[in-house]
Amino acid sequence: FLSVVLTAVLVGSRRRYHPDYDPLIEIRRAKERLDRYKAKDDWKADMLLSDDCDEDLQRYEEKLRKRLAERGEITEPIELERRQIELLRRQKDIDLGKVTPRYAEYVLSIPKPERERYMPRTPNKFRKVSRRAWDGMIRKWRKHLHNFDDLK
């Protein structure tokens, strides 16, 4: 199901996304995950979150390895955040930003292929950084989203 969203093929320096890409899918998934976070003492919700986290990590690691192999830059093990509790906390921070009206406005007004480098980008939850650095990245991203006025 996520393969449709993440199907990006490099064409020159631009990325081409799946023709059926739905920009609201990120928001729907964020809302679903936030509902699972709220379900306390529900083992099924915990398992779904855990499985999603594992799949995301595996998919991201495969993507990185493929990209590095294409460039011929295969090195020692890739340094990623692998602690599940930390990844879940980071995903929750991202989801809280994605359910805001400003994010929906941004996603609907500027399709992924048309986004520029200076536009708000969701922080990479797999990047190995301290908790303080992560909180700063999230704060910066949400502030950038809130203040972003370059809408068409």
Q: What tens digit of pLDDT does each residue of 14-48 get?
A: 455 666 778 788 899 999 999 888 887 888 888 98
Query: Where in the sequence is the domain holding 129, given as residue range(s)?
Result: 23-54+81-147
Residue 99 confidence (pLDDT): 94
Among candidate residues 26, 35, 9, 19, the one with its CA nearest the CA of residue 106: 26
* Partner residues linked to 9 by β-bridges: 16
Measured CA to CA, the distance from residue 146 to residue 134 in angstroms comes to 18
DSSP summary character for residue 127:
S
Are the beta carbons of 120 and 106 closer than 8 angstroms? yes
CATH of the domain at 36: 1.10.8.1120
* CA neighbor of 123 nearest in space, from 115, 133, 113: 133
Q: What is the pLDDT of residue 9?
A: 38
- Long-range contacts: 44-52, Cβ < 8 Å, 24+? 49/88, 50/84, 50/88, 52/91
The CA distance from 4 to 87, in Å, is 22
Q: Please tell me what DSSP assigns to residue 1.
A: -
Q: How many domains are contained in the chain?
A: 1
Q: What is the pTM of this model?
A: 0.79
For residue 119, pLDDT beyond 70 = yes
- Whether 1 maps to a domain, the answer reads no
Give tens-digit pLDDT for 122-149: 999 999 999 999 999 999 999 999 888 7
**Which pLDDT tens digit goes with each residue over 42-86?**
888 889 889 999 999 999 999 988 888 888 877 677 789 999 999
Domain contains 59:
no
Structural tokens at position 38? 């709220």
97 lies in some domain: yes
Give pLDDT tens digits for 82-118.
999 999 999 999 999 999 999 999 988 888 888 888 9
pLDDT value at position 25?
87
Residue 86 lies in a domain: yes
φ, ψ (nearest 5 deg) of residue 51: -65, -45
d(CA 17, CA 14): 10
Give the CA distances from residue 6 to residues 18, 26, 37, 112, in Å, rounded to whole numbers and listed in that order: 8, 11, 24, 11
The reply to whether 120 falls in a domain is yes
Q: Give the residue, 151 or 136, on which the prediction is more confident.
A: 136
Domain presence at residue 45: yes
